[in-house]
């Protein structure tokens, strides 16, 4: 098929050409005297990205799931109690991992389309006077449903209860796209990956750990080997790894962090909100459809999950968009399978780029018999973008 495949899934995201070029490197000896230069370029940029002075970033050759495992196994012991909520496929999978490791999970089943139930968290933490809960899990951005949650409010609930539990945050699809503040929010383990806001191919799991979390390695009794932070702490300060790192991806990460620095993190966050608002206008005002996110307070700025009308299958829209128009949309997962399609708008993107995803989804819906007005989605999105100030990150420099 002529033309490029347009990727509008919530990750992997589009990889900018300059990052692709930066990864076209010959292999090198990862034990050489020159190699430490890479990690010493990367770590300061990651600390800026996490907005931390006190946290320690780690890079694993893995996906974000590997860093989930690292966060759990380096701090907890069998039978430890953790508080979590299930409001989407990825928050569910994190709970599932905890259960597989033999942790006692107090899991709250929440309506999909909403996010972390702050009031319930606060009530549970307040009543846990014996401090049996050792960690609180918070999925900041649930890509299965297009829902973002308030991590700062989770920290407040912990502080108000004077509770010492660790705060674990999944920021895989929010870091570098949605506001995240490791130090200000008192986060202890923040899990991310390379293929979302960092605009890289999959393959790097990125974790940031607080001093409080790192101090628990000596008492944590869960088994660990590959994801043992002790081995990383023994080698990373000198610029090396306990095993072979993903060398080309590290060069790509250096370039990604340069791009983020050039645009400015605040500008990037503003750009994502501006683009997301246009996507939401397309779905709600243009097509007259509902989002999976139940209220504006839950709206994600990296992914818009659009509900298809009763009697239609979102999977058909996704298949048609791909086969006919070479546009990749995200599928509904688990409880929402077939009920929606997902339009990802994170990473390297502007208004005209996102317009291709809106138009591809609209044409696919029409082909599948969903009665939306032709051109209505793009008209609503462009009207929003034209009438609202363009973030400085989108300005030509």
Give pLDDT tens digits for 284-294: 999 999 999 99
Q: Indicate where the chain has its CATH 3.40.640.10 domain(s).
A: 17-261
Which class is 17-261 in CATH? Answer: alpha beta
Maximal CA-CA distance, the chain: 64
The per-residue pLDDT for range 196-216, each reduced to its tens digit, is: 999 999 999 999 999 999 999
Beta strands in the chain (DSSP E): 6-8, 56-60, 81-86, 104-109, 133-139, 141-142, 147-148, 166-170, 189-193, 205-209, 303-307, 327-331, 340-344
The per-residue pLDDT for range 8-28, each reduced to its tens digit, is: 999 999 999 999 999 999 999
Dist. CA 41–CA 255, nearest whole Å: 10
CA dihedral 80, 82, 88, 90 (to 10 degrees): -50
pLDDT band at 394 (very low <50, low <70, confident <90, very high): confident
φ and ψ at 291, to 5 degrees? -95, 160
| Residues whose CB falls within 8 Å of the CB of residue 341, separated by 6 or more in sequence, listed in order | 305, 306, 308, 314, 317, 318, 321, 329, 330, 331, 332, 361
Whether the Cβ atoms of residue 352 and residue 249 lie closer than 8 Å to each other: no
- Average per-residue pLDDT for the chain: 96
Dist. CA 308–CA 261, nearest whole Å: 39
Which class is 264-394 in CATH? Answer: alpha beta
Q: Which residue has the tokens 């779905």?
A: 283
Average pLDDT over residues 129-151: 98
| Residues whose CB falls within 8 Å of the CB of residue 237, separated by 6 or more in sequence, listed in order | none
| pLDDT value of position 323 | 97
Phi-psi region of 116 (alpha: psi -120 to 50; beta: other; left: phi over 0): beta
Q: Indicate where the chain has its CATH 3.90.1150.10 domain(s).
A: 264-394
Which among 93, 20, 63 is positioned nearest to 252, based on CA atoms? 20
User: What DSSP designation does 332 have?
Assistant: P
Q: Which residue has the tokens 């380096």?
A: 74
């Amino acid at each position: 098929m002529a033309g490029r495949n347009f990727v509008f899934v919530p990750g992997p995201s589009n990889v900018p050409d300059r990052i692709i070029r930066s990864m076209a490197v010959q292999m090198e000896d990862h034990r050489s005297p020159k190699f430490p230069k890479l990690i010493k370029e990367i770590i300061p940029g990651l600390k800026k990205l996490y907005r931390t002075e006190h946290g320690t970033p780690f890079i694993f050759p893995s996906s974000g799931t590997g860093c989930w495992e690292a966060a759990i196994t380096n701090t907890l012991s069998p039978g430890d109690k953790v508080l979590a909520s299930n409001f989407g496929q990825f928050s569910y999978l994190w709970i599932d991992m905890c259960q597989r490791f033999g942790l006692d999970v107090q899991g709250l089943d929440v309506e999909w389309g909403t996010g972390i139930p702050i009031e319930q968290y606060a009530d549970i933490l307040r009543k846990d006077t014996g401090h049996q809960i050792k960690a609180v899990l918070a999925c900041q951005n649930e890509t299965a449903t297009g829902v973002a949650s308030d991590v700062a409010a989770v920290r407040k609930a912990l502080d108000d209860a004077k509770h010492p539990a660790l705060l674990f945050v999944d920021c895989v699809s929010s870091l570098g796209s949605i506001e995240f503040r490791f130090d200000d929010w008192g986060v202890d383990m923040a899990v991310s990956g390379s293929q979302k806001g960092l605009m890289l191919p999959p393959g790097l799991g990125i974790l940031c750990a607080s001093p409080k979390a790192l101090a628990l390695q000596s008492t944590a009794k869960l088994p660990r080997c590959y994801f043992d932070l002790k081995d990383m702490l023994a080698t990373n300060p000198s610029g090396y790894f306990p095993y072979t790192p993903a060398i080309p991806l590290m060069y790509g990460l250096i370039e990604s962090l340069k791009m983020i620095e050039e645009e400015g993190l605040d500008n990037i966050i503003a750009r994502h909100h501006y683009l997301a608002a246009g996507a939401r206008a397309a779905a709600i005002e243009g097509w007259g459809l509902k989002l999976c996110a139940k209220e504006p307070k839950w709206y994600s700025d990296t992914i818009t999950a659009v509900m298809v009308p009763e009697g239609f299958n979102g999977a058909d829209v996704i298949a048609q968009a791909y086969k006919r128009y070479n546009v990749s949309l995200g599928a509904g997962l688990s409880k929402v399978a077939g009920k929606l399609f997902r339009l990802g708008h994170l990473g390297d993107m502007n208004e005209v780029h996102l317009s291709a995803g809106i138009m591809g989804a609209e044409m696919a819906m029409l082909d599948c018999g969903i009665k939306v007005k032709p051109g209505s989605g793009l008209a609503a999105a462009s009207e929003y973008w034209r009438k609202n100030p363009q973030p400085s990150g989108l300005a030509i420099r």
